[in-house]
Amino acid sequence: MADPVFERLALIGVGLIGSSVARIARSRGDIARVVVANARTEATLNRVADLGIADLTEIDPARAVEDADCVMLCAPVGAYAALAQQIAPHLMPGAIVTDVGSTKQSVIRDIGPFLPQGTHFVPAHPMAGTEFSGPDAGFIELFQGRWCLLTPPTGTDDRAVSKIRTLWERCGATVSIMDAAHHDRVVAIVSHLPHLIAFTICGTADDLADETRQEVLRFAASGFRDFTRIAASDPVMWRDIFLNNRDALLEMLARFTEDAQAMARAVRWGDTTYIEDKVLRGRKIRQALIDLNQA
């Protein structure tokens, strides 16, 4: 077995992502010798202990990061600034701070200024998830065949980046490095906009007159069911994502709105060529995802 990447990994938050990392680290043995789990409530930490997915649990984030050579923030991105301010004085020299947030410019803005000199910051975004949350939601295979995007700020220590890359590769992910602003525009279209649309469609269905609403739920086809699966995601997490990637999300929403209006015109005026072209392009996108094993 290869040597562990880290001696002590502190997970600040043990929801779907954090608890999956904990499970993998405990099962493999080559990610961290010791896994420390932190959560906001004793009830969550008790559940972590019952599941046996961490070596230690700690309710205080400041104590959780002591002596940790890697600290991974797995909380909603809106909590990052407060957490960074709380843990910064307790980070050991040389510690690497990373995260799993879905927005990256806001993460760099909220965490970077608090980190003491001599520590390293490697933002990360594992692009894997389900609609479930909490420590029971995690599973070892979550990151298999998925992408993890790293967005280290200019001047980040190469060895720190390499260690975080190795961590995610050992979790089963394929790692790519990109600029934070570019990352935020990419995920706005592939992740954030689809979630916004799903929440909105389900809200529209919920606002229908009661009789019609019951028919919608009773006879829901697979397309609507797919939207409800996405819409079952954690509301606090997605609230923070939308607000912290506001500019890129609104840009993509504006583009989508223009395209939706064009499709509406095509339907209104019976423009079969336009409609068929859009459907065919959708099929091509789906096939491309299948070819890349991302379906």
pLDDT, tens digit, 9 for 90 and up, residues 204-258: 888 876 767 677 667 666 677 777 787 788 888 889 999 999 999 999 999 999 9
pLDDT tens-digit readout, 24-71:
999 999 999 999 999 999 999 999 999 999 999 999 999 999 999 999
Is 70 exceeded by the pLDDT of residue 97? yes
Q: How far apart are CA 147 and CA 259, in angstroms?
A: 28
pTM comes to 0.87
Which pLDDT value is given to residue 221?
Answer: 63
Question: Please, which pLDDT band fits residue 2 given cuts at 50, 70 and 90?
Answer: confident
β-sheet bridge partners, residue 185? none
| Residues of each domain in the chain carrying CATH 3.40.50.720 | 6-178
Give, in order, the Cα–Cα distances in Å from 259 to each of 106, 224, 265, 278. Answer: 28, 20, 10, 10
Is 135:13 a contact under the CB 8 Å cutoff?
no
pLDDT tens-digit readout, 106-117:
999 999 999 999
DSSP-derived 3-state class of residue 175: strand
Which pLDDT value is given to residue 276?
Answer: 93
pLDDT above 70 as % of the chain: 95
Segment 90-110 shows an average pLDDT of 96
Is 90 exceeded by the pLDDT of residue 285? no
Give, in order, the Cα–Cα distances in Å from 34 to each of 10, 20, 22, 205. Answer: 8, 15, 10, 47
Place of tokens 């894997």: 128
State the amino acid at position 200 in one-letter form. T
Give, in order, the Cα–Cα distances in Å from 117 to each of 8, 95, 156, 236. Answer: 20, 10, 12, 32
pLDDT tens-digit readout, 122-180:
999 999 877 788 999 999 999 998 999 999 999 999 999 999 999 999 999 999 999 99
CATH of the domain spanning 6-178: 3.40.50.720
Assigned fold of 182-291: 6-phosphogluconate dehydrogenase C-terminal fold (1.10.3660)
Count CB neighbours of 281 within 10 A: 10
| Residues of each domain in the chain carrying CATH 1.10.3660.10 | 182-291
DSSP-derived 3-state class of residue 281: helix
